[in-house]
Amino acid sequence: MSPTLIQHALLLSLALFAIGVVGVFLRRNVITVFMCVELMLNAVNLAFIAFSRAWGNLEGQVLVFFVLTVAAAEAAVGLAIIISIHRHKDTLDVDAFSLMKW
Amino acid sequence: MALFQAILCYVFGALALGAALVMVAQRNPTYSAFALIVTLVSLSAVFGLFGAPFIAALQIIVYAGAIMVLFLFVLMLLNVRTEVRAPGEGRVFKLVAIGLGALLVGEIGSVLVAARPALAGGFDASARQVARLLFDARYLYVFEATSILILASLVGAIALAKRDPSS
């Protein structure tokens, strides 16, 4: 374990976050978009773990614990909303969900 | 030993990156979900190598175990087809999106490169140490509040996904 390795972990976290952002804009399927959001959350978790190791501080890991909890709650509610919308519109295309769009 | 650890870090990091690219490039959402599972498991290995065994286990149990099963369950339930390319997307919007994306990567990258992290010695992140901090007075109420959050999301998910009896 060396500082360079931590630096590279931070760059990996950046790359994963960027891939998640690209996916959110590129994909049209609402479930895939949702999975890209999960990927972004995980990229941030990796940054937390790397910083936690760098400074020998466990609070980063506690924050990752809370992020995991919130991600689980968010996935449950989000997928329930997707099921509910799919029942009304019979599609999963994000462009079809424009009810609350101005 | 340290070299072996570094090699494993790079192998799992590359695996996570490749699987993430496959996930975004893939048109079939079911394959995307499987690629995301590979990413999550590789990241869990990286967490373990970075001295976070508790979080690594949680990552497998909660993310790869619970959340991704939920995703696959919904994908099977809704009978999702491969998405089709939308006709006639704005070229201007695409250019603006690429520019803003490059700006975001540059911004975060410059901050991360400037961070120059040190490396603390004597790092102990066993489940015991993490739990000691988690049940510390600072985080105890937040920890208890997450149980209310989980309960609320449970009730919300059932209420939202339930079929309306009147229709």
Q: What are the beta bridge partners of residue A29?
A: A93
pLDDT tens sequence across A35-87: 999 999 999 999 999 989 888 888 899 999 999 999 999 999 999 999 988 88
Question: B135-164 in b/e burial notation, b at 16+ Cβ within 10 A?
Answer: eeeebeeebeebeeeeeebeeebeebbeee
Rounded to the nearest 5 degrees, what angle is found at the Cα of B152, between the Cα atoms of B43 and A69? 15
Q: Please tell me the distance in Å from B110's CA to the nearest CA on chain A.
A: 10
What domains appear along chain A, each with residue ranges and CATH number?
3-96 (1.10.287.3510)
Contacts of residue A23 in chain B, CB cutoff 8 Å? 23-24
Q: For B141-167, what is the mean pLDDT? A: 87
pLDDT (0 to 100) of residue B167: 57
| Rounded distance between C-alpha atoms, residue B41 and residue B29, angstroms | 18
Q: For B25-41, what is the mean pLDDT? A: 92
Contacts of residue A97 in chain B, CB cutoff 8 Å? none
pLDDT tens sequence across B82-92: 666 655 566 77
pLDDT (0 to 100) of residue A88: 83
Mean model confidence pLDDT for chain B? 86
Does residue A80 belong to the interface with chain B, where contact is any CB pair within 8 Å? yes
Q: Do B134 and A26 touch (CB under 8 A)?
A: no
Which residue, B165, B70, B84, is CA-closest to A81?
A: B70
| Rounded distance between C-alpha atoms, residue B125 and residue B128, angstroms | 8
Q: Do A19 and B46 touch (CB under 8 A)?
A: no
Q: If you measure CA to CA, which chain A residue comes closest to B152?
A: A73
pLDDT tens sequence across B75-126: 988 877 766 665 556 677 778 878 888 888 888 888 877 877 777 777 777 8
Q: If you measure CA to CA, which chain A residue comes closest to B3?
A: A1
Q: If you measure CA to CA, which chain A residue comes closest to B75?
A: A31
CATH number listed for the domain at residues B1-82: 1.20.120.1200
Contacts of residue A1 in chain B, CB cutoff 8 Å? 2, 5-6, 50-51, 119
Q: Which residues neighbour B112 within 8 Å (Cβ) at sequence distance 6 or greater?
A: A7, A10, A11, A13, A14, A47
pLDDT (0 to 100) of residue B80: 75
| pLDDT of B18 over the 90 cut | yes
Which residue, B1, B52, B42, is CA-closest to B18?
A: B42
